[in-house]
A and B are shown apart, each in its own frame.
Chain A
Amino acid sequence: MNDKAYILLVEDNPDDEALTIRALKKNNISNEVVVIRDGADAVDFILARGNYAHRDPLDLPVVVLLDLKLPKIEGLEVLRQIRRDPVAKLLPVVILTSSKEEQDLIGGYSNGANSYIRKPVDFTQFTEVLGHIGLYWLLLNEKPPILRGTKRKQDTL
């Protein structure tokens, strides 16, 4: 478990990945950013299984920035799967996507997204948005008590 809270960025587009990290840095957010590039990997990482089985399952990011259009497993399906997990269901998930299609908004919220942010084209605006996200989820928001006695069931997988 890291001492410092980290951000999990689930993003397949390397441009967006670079810009997101740049925008975070410009907002002086120095937390580690873990990047996962497809949906299946994201689920494995969060639930500490498959390639990430060695991970401590209780070592969860402070917030997940989740894109919707992802290889292998779509963002909404990732959300559905982690919300079924008794531990990960408490994890703050911010959907960060290009789309503001109604079906995505409804799908996001009904599957338990904590927030839905649309990436602006304008990088200045994009930087502002990420500044707000960092401020809110890293500083203002109280973290869910995941570490205190939460037990993951063995048969969850």
Chain B
Amino acid sequence: MRRAGAVVCVLLAAVDPACSLEDGMPGDILKIVRYDNDLSGYDVLGWMGHIIVVAFVVIIGILYWNWRLYREIRKREEVEVARQESEARYRILIDQGFNGIFVHDHFVVLDINKQMAEMVGRAREELIGTDAGVLFERSMSDALHGLSDQGATARLRLYVRHKDGSVIPVEAFSALCRFHGTDATIVAMRDMRAQDEAERILRANYNEMEQRVQERTSELDARVREAEDLNRAMINILEDLQAVNRNLNQMAVRLEAANRELESFSYSVSHDLRAPLRAIDGFSQAIEEDYTHLLDDQGRHYLQRIRHASRRMGDLIDDMLNLSRLSRRTMQIEQVNLSHIAYEIGRELKEAQPARQAEFVIAPDVVVQGDERLLTVAMTNLLTNAWKFTSSHSSARIEFGIETTNECTACYVKDDGVGFDMAYAGKLFGAFQRLHHQAEFPGAGIGLATVQRIIHRHGGQVWAKGEVEKGATFFFSL
């Protein structure tokens, strides 16, 4: 029976390596052995039963051991695969990544990627094993401590030194790692040139923008001040205007009074001035008729002259009244066909003196805006003048038309009559001004003054061109 207990112990030791033979037999097994010893009295199964039990235990033990062995192998295999994958990923990231990376142990470069090598302009092989300090600006020594093996750090601003002396700004961070079984520090960095440039541009843009904003702001301020100045000026102008308006109102009142005075003056002239003239003329004629036998030829001649003078004065008064009436008459503005008016006047003039060789050339459909009655008076004066001052010529050509020169459209009446000296052109339009002797061409000298007044009332201008014996042209714009 002792032998069976020893076998169990060996089996158990194989199953559990923690249990060694030197520790002696486990108590429980010993109990079983003892129990078996106590059953020595039962010989029904005998030793065969013991053998079966022992074999069963042995088989179970072998199965368990194999299973443990299998699991250990699988685990190792998985670890190896993961290590290989990790190594591959590391290589890819190190060599193909966009950033410079190197691994160092106490600033001795253990590994360095292509990008980092390119950044400093040296070969990888050359760099491995060198001092990491050569990678950076010398002045960066303090900052380099940030890349020490203290562990993960905040991002640091560093400057990588290229072999050719140029400096590349980078942002770096470091972290502790294991490299081929030893503790090391991995440092990764990003080339900041593009970002710095972008930032610089951004800042420049921002500055420019800010400058523009300032410029605009000051411009706006200037504008605002300008507007305020304008506003003040406007207020001043408004006040001035109000003052002017008050003046105008006073003037209008005075003008109205003057107009009323003029009206009553004209009325008085109209009524009172002609009566004495009528008396002079009438009684002169009475003397002529009733006392002609008491007078000699000289006396009768004097009476004739008195009568002639009084009639002429009567005509002058009439002309003056007509002229003043033109200014007082209310205008009625409508479309007026000057060609029709010219044609009618020409026809009447020719009918009055059919023997004269005169031709009227009238442009068709000259239509203007104005007071028809006043414009008819003006046209009558102009055409009658042309008729009168061509009468000394054997034939006459009188033209009415319209022409546009230098932004000004003007109607004109042109004749080929006696004309006038331009030196006296200024006297043409004055009331009772004459350029010819009464004996040559009769008239009161009121015609052109009338024309001028009518054209002025229409807001227009009137002017003349002429040459002695080469005709005259009278222009008017409306």
Contacts and interface: CB of A to CB of B under 8 A. Distances in A.
Contact of A121 (B271, B286, B310): B310
B192 interface: no
B278 A126 contact: yes
A120 B310 CA distance: 11
B267 A99 contact: yes
A124 B271 contact: no
> How big is chain A's contact interface, by range?
20 to 34
12 contacts: A15-B275, A15-B282, A16-B279, A18-B282, A19-B282, A22-B282, A98-B278, A101-B266, A119-B278, A120-B314, A121-B278, A126-B282
Contact of B311 (A98, A101, A122): A122
Given A16-B275, A126-B282, A121 B266 contact: no
A103 B274 CA distance: 18
A83 interface: no
B276 A15 contact: yes
A100 interface: yes
A123 interface: yes
B266 A98 contact: no
Nearest to A123: B282
Contacts of A100: 270
Contacts of B282: 15, 18-19, 22, 123, 126
A121 B281 contact: yes
A15 B278 contact: yes
B277 interface: yes
Contact of B279 (A19, A68, A103, A120): A19
A13 interface: yes
A55 B286 CA distance: 35
B337 interface: no
A121 B308 CA distance: 11
A150 to B, nearest CB: 34
Interface string A100-141: 111100000000000000011111101000000000000000
Interface string B316-349: 0000000001000000000000000000000000
Contacts of B277: 121
A98 B270 CA distance: 6
Contacts of A120: 278, 314
A121 B318 CA distance: 10
Interface of A: 13, 15-16, 18-19, 22, 68-69, 97-103, 119-124, 126
A122 B281 contact: yes
Contacts of B433: none
B78 interface: no
A122 B267 CA distance: 20
A143 to B, nearest CB: 30
A18 to B, nearest CB: 8
B272 interface: yes
Contacts of A15: 275-276, 278-279, 282-283
Given A101-B266, A122-B314, A69 B276 contact: no
Contacts of B307: 122-123
B285 interface: yes
B281 A99 contact: no
A98 B279 contact: no
B278 A22 contact: no
Contacts of A98: 270-272, 274-275, 278
Interface string B247-290: 00000000000000000001100111011111101111110000
Contact of A123 (B266, B274, B276, B278): B278
Given A13-B275, A126-B278, A121 B267 contact: no
A13 B271 CA distance: 11
A91 to B, nearest CB: 24
Contacts of B272: 69, 98
A124 B285 contact: yes
Nearest to A69: B271
A99 B158 CA distance: 115
Most central of B274, B277, B282 by chain A CB within 10 Å: B282
Contacts of A18: 282
Contacts of A122: 281, 307, 311, 314
Given A101-B266, A123-B285, A124-B285, A19 B278 contact: yes
A93 to B, nearest CB: 18
B311 A68 contact: no
Contact of A22 (B271, B275, B284, B286): B286
Given A22-B282, A101-B270, A123-B286, 12 more contacts: A15-B275, A19-B278, A68-B271, A98-B270, A98-B272, A98-B275, A99-B270, A120-B278, A120-B314, A121-B277, A121-B278, A121-B281
Contact of B271 (A99, A102, A123, A126): A99
A99 B318 CA distance: 10
Contacts of B266: 101
